[in-house]
A and B are shown apart, each in its own frame.
Chain A
Amino acid sequence: MKNILKIDNIEKYYGNRSSLTKAISGISFLVDRGEFVAIMGASGSGKTTLLNLISTIDKVTSGHIYVAGEDITKLRGNSLNKFRREELGFIFQDFNLLDTLTAYENIALALSIQNVGAKEIDQRIKKVAKELDIYDILKKYPYQLSGGQKQRVASARAIITDPKLILADEPTGALDSKSSKMLLERFNYLNQELEATILMVTHDAFTASYASRVIFIKDGKIFNEINRGDKKRSEFFDQIIEVVTMLGGDLSDAL
């Protein structure tokens, strides 16, 4: 089972008969285990819709999405929730941490809703905290943390359940460049050392250049796709910029 994610010709329409908006019109691609894929596109290109569909927050109009061989478009109700908490890890632009809980408790929540015992929770949090370099801030509340720290806490919460797929929606969107770099290096670490599969949506070329593959979306369709291969990150970045320019400068605002 090499493919962790298989997107099979999905479509998503909004609105009604009289005014139909095609957010996604016929997208198909595969993501292998241990890949770090970035999806790029301008505002309104459909990239966030795509992520919402994969994360089962939204439902497809037609087509299928398979995660580890299971068709998630067929899931309903509590099996959806079960899928979300056991197979997926989420990282959001605005962190989505609970401000009433400490960093530790925020991370613990992902495990406690899976009925993991308190002792095991503690061990796993300590391990992941070291990997993400947040061990010293576990006792702090979100309002005491910087944006980068918050995002690393959110990342810890996303990976602690050993999800098959980590979905990141503009993870660097609210961070300054230094924190962005730090976070993305952690992503690389997670990807390479822990073999986590990451699917990241971004409109920032710099962020995308950390991925092993970048898929470009325009008007709800796949426009282009480039692989990093053995290239250096800076070369890959230049290549991404070329594609962005080719896209018609739609992404220029993001640079």
Chain B
Amino acid sequence: MLFKISFKNIVKSIKDYLIYFFTLVLGVAIFYVFNSIDKQTVMMDVTKRTSEVIDLMTNMLSGCSVFVSIILGFLVIYASRFLIKRRNKEFGIYLTLGMSKRKISTILFLETLIIGVFSLFVGLVLGFVLSQFMSLLVANMFDANLTKFQFVFSKSACIKTLIYFGLIYFLVMIFNTINISKCKLIDLLHANKKSEKVKLKNPVICTIIFIISASVLSYAYYLVTGGVEDLQSAEQIYLPIILGLVSTFFIFWSLSGLLLKIFMNIKGVYYKGLNSFTLRQFSSKINTTVFSMTIICIMLFITICVLSSSLSIKNSMTANLDKLSPVDVQFSKVLSIDDDNQEIKSDFNLSVIETLEKNGFDTDKNLDDITPFSIYKSSDLTLGKFLGSRLEKVEKQFKYLKYGREESIVTISDYNKIAKLYGNKEYSLEDNEYLVIADFDSMITLRNEALKEGETITIGSRDYVPKYKKCQDGFIEISSNHINDGIIIVPDDAIIGARLEYKGLIANYKSTNKKDKIATDEKLRKVIESTWNKTSLTSMNSKLDIAEASIGLGALVTFIGLYLGIIFLISSAAILALKELSESSDNKERYKMLRKIGTDEKLINKTLFRQIAIFFMFPLVIAIIHSIFGIKFAAFILETFGRDKLLPSIIMTAIFIIVIYGGYFFITYFCSKNIIKENH
């Protein structure tokens, strides 16, 4: 009997439940897809290193899943509370008929169970289908060949989904029971009759609060963009975050009153068609929804930042790779003077090639474009000394830099050989000149301060002046990021006064196809690993390694970004949609009245569309403004990854938002239209 009531209730209120159900299904599907990634990589042909990265990624994703399930849990509780509220009268009738509260709880329990089971099933099926597409994406991310395409079903992800969502539904059931046991019959029966008093806010107070919160927000923006250099420790980031949250809330609060006031004073607009009705609807609701608007705005803001930043990291990492790792391999041998090991000490005298040859690696047969180079250091030239008169100012700004660190010095002829191989610009220097090669943005700014002043440096007993007033772009060490914080290039004879610190070598592999390159890589690694710290201090850095690490990192960040971003987006859109739908049912009478006085259907649809559009757009617009600064800040933090590829990732983010958020918007509009249509 109770089961029958529950089932009929669901069928009856399918309109209310549709978006709730839709959201649950999406949540389940996404949860499954991201937790089954490890299974999807099974059919890929990946190296050991890549599979380690995938393991790491799986672990991090399952960590995220806990967070995601908390968010979804809140969403589900919020949504079910909402749906219960809509049915207060129905429960009131049950109670007056003599049904016990426990039985009503049972009805709700059964309803949650039916919806839960159904959504889990549909969600898992959808997740299974989506995960097949996902495996294509995964393969693409890791540049892996799909050895064989097969449908994969991850039992563990499925069980995990069942457990997590089972837990969420269980919590909802408990929550519903508490909710029901607390309510009073009189409130239930008269729930619909309570009409909200419309209080217009004082425009003067609104204006003042708006100005204050706008300036506080601007200050918070400034802290994370213009004044970002002053951020010295991680804790300091809390200040702009808190300022941003509070001012967002008050901006919504004041703007809602203010906008209404402004439009009301433009009589020609306000008294045109149903504009007055639309605006009043908007303002009467926003009085009560400022808080949820703020939450939605912040969630959208996080979504936009997370998605665009994570996508851009992946993009710029792949783009950087070819530019920043132009050769296949790079060696460097540390010449540490205080080593007791005699074998290592004698190895100091050998070049890198000689070391490799000695350990059984045929350089002539395997390597091409062999270019040796040396890096010198001198106690005369530390970062502090480089900065010279600018040191005091810079030190105040960047307290945590090591100013006693010795600078790397390379001769102009060594650098030009490398630059030629890399395809970078070559330079020439007079006897008393030096230049700085760097590509790490914040260090460039810092060094340019000194270069601009024409600070001289001293090596041995001779002074050198900068040839250029700015750092020149370039690097020696191959990597996936812009990490060269500055190398001093000096005339060849200047190194007399410095000591040799590293012996380096860059080279290409003779083999051209990937498979042979991997073989060469393996051979070299064996040599290096067997000699390291035993007979030599030579280390290697190969393009293949860098590529795998950067692809792995890129994929890791992308997947986590996508996972969290989509969940946040769905949650915020679902909250808005549920709110709007229930508003539409509450406003049924108002629309009925509008029809009675002869309003055209077209005009009614227009005002409905506008209302929903305003409610969806308002938090989005503020979130986009936040994001402009948020992304800038993220770009600053992630600047070593390069930021030249931000635009495509912003476009991708926009597509995500348009599809998901826009999708929710249109579903809400069409469902609302349906709700207000039935006038029987």
Within the complex, which residue of A83, A84, A100, A117 is in contact with B268, where a contact is CB–CB below 8 Å? A117
B462 interface residue per 8 A CB criterion = no
Q: By the criterion CB–CB under 8 Å, are A86 and B276 in contact?
A: no
A66 interface residue per 8 A CB criterion = no
Contacts from B to A (Cβ < 8 Å): 195, 197-198, 267-268, 270-277, 280-281, 284, 590, 593-603
Q: By the criterion CB–CB under 8 Å, are B598 and A101 in contact?
A: no
Cα distance A98–B595 in the bound complex, in angstroms: 12
- 5 A–B contacts, CB within 8 A, in A order: A82-B598, A84-B596, A112-B271, A112-B276, A157-B597
The 8 A CB mask of A18-57 against B (1 = contact, 0 = none) is: 0000000000000000000000000000000000000101
Q: Which residue of A lies closest to B268 (CB)?
A: A118
Cα distance A98–B277 in the bound complex, in angstroms: 8
Q: Which residue of A lies closest to B280 (CB)?
A: A100
Cα distance A111–B599 in the bound complex, in angstroms: 10
A16 interface residue per 8 A CB criterion = no
By secondary structure, the A interface counts as helix
Of A4-12, A102-110, A129-137, A212-220, the one touching chain B: A102-110
Known: A77-B601, A78-B602, A118-B271. 9 other contacts (CB 8 A): A82-B598, A84-B596, A100-B590, A108-B271, A109-B277, A109-B594, A115-B272, A122-B267, A141-B197
Cα distance A86–B600 in the bound complex, in angstroms: 12
Distance (whole angstroms) from the CB of B286 to the closest CB of chain A: 12
A90 interface residue per 8 A CB criterion = yes
Within the complex, which residue of B198, B268, B281, B603 is in contact with A113, where a contact is CB–CB below 8 Å? B603
Within the complex, which residue of A100, A109, A121 is in contact with B281, where a contact is CB–CB below 8 Å? A100
Within the complex, which residue of B272, B276, B599, B601 is in contact with A105, where a contact is CB–CB below 8 Å? B276
Contacts from A to B (Cβ < 8 Å): 55, 57, 77-78, 81-86, 88, 90, 92, 96, 98-101, 105, 108-113, 115, 117-119, 121-122, 141, 143, 157
Q: By the criterion CB–CB under 8 Å, are B280 and A84 in contact?
A: no
A86: chain B residues at CB < 8 Å are 598
Distance (whole angstroms) from the CB of A161 to the closest CB of chain B: 9
Q: By the criterion CB–CB under 8 Å, are A113 and B284 in contact?
A: no
Cα distance A57–B680 in the bound complex, in angstroms: 11
Q: By the criterion CB–CB under 8 Å, are A112 and B275 in contact?
A: yes
Smallest CB-CB A-B distances: 7 pairs: A85-B598, A84-B598, A118-B267, A100-B280, A118-B271, A100-B284, A96-B593
Distance (whole angstroms) from the CB of B367 to the closest CB of chain A: 80
Q: Which residue of A lies closest to B596 (CB)?
A: A90
Q: By the criterion CB–CB under 8 Å, are A113 and B593 in contact?
A: no
Cα distance A111–B271 in the bound complex, in angstroms: 9
Q: By the criterion CB–CB under 8 Å, are B600 and A81 in contact?
A: yes
By secondary structure, the B interface counts as helix
Q: By the criterion CB–CB under 8 Å, are A78 and B600 in contact?
A: yes
A100-B280, A101-B276, A143-B195 known; A113+B597 contact, CB < 8 A: yes
A84: chain B residues at CB < 8 Å are 596-598
Cα distance A229–B271 in the bound complex, in angstroms: 43
Q: Which residue of B lies closest to A83 (CB)?
A: B598
B597: chain A residues at CB < 8 Å are 84-85, 90, 109-110, 113, 157
Cα distance A78–B603 in the bound complex, in angstroms: 11
Q: Which residue of B lies closest to A141 (CB)?
A: B198
B593: chain A residues at CB < 8 Å are 96, 98
Cα distance A110–B281 in the bound complex, in angstroms: 17
A85: chain B residues at CB < 8 Å are 597-599
Cα distance A122–B276 in the bound complex, in angstroms: 14
A100-B280, A100-B284, A108-B276 known; A78+B198 contact, CB < 8 A: no
Distance (whole angstroms) from the CB of B259 to the closest CB of chain A: 15
Cα distance A85–B601 in the bound complex, in angstroms: 12
Cα distance A93–B280 in the bound complex, in angstroms: 24
Q: By the criterion CB–CB under 8 Å, are B280 and A101 in contact?
A: yes
Distance (whole angstroms) from the CB of A4 to the closest CB of chain B: 18
A82: chain B residues at CB < 8 Å are 598, 600
A88: chain B residues at CB < 8 Å are 598
Q: By the criterion CB–CB under 8 Å, are A101 and B267 in contact?
A: no
Cα distance A238–B590 in the bound complex, in angstroms: 40
Q: Which residue of B lies closest to A144 (CB)?
A: B197
Distance (whole angstroms) from the CB of B616 to the closest CB of chain A: 20
A100: chain B residues at CB < 8 Å are 198, 277, 280-281, 284, 590
Cα distance A92–B253 in the bound complex, in angstroms: 36
Cα distance A86–B267 in the bound complex, in angstroms: 22
Q: By the criterion CB–CB under 8 Å, are B596 and A115 in contact?
A: no
Distance (whole angstroms) from the CB of B152 to the closest CB of chain A: 54
B195: chain A residues at CB < 8 Å are 99, 143
Within the complex, which residue of A78, A83, A90, A112 is in contact with B601, where a contact is CB–CB below 8 Å? A78
B267: chain A residues at CB < 8 Å are 118-119, 122
Cα distance A110–B197 in the bound complex, in angstroms: 23
Distance (whole angstroms) from the CB of A106 to the closest CB of chain B: 9
A96-B593, A100-B198, A141-B198 known; A113+B276 contact, CB < 8 A: no
Q: Which residue of B lies closest to A97 (CB)?
A: B593
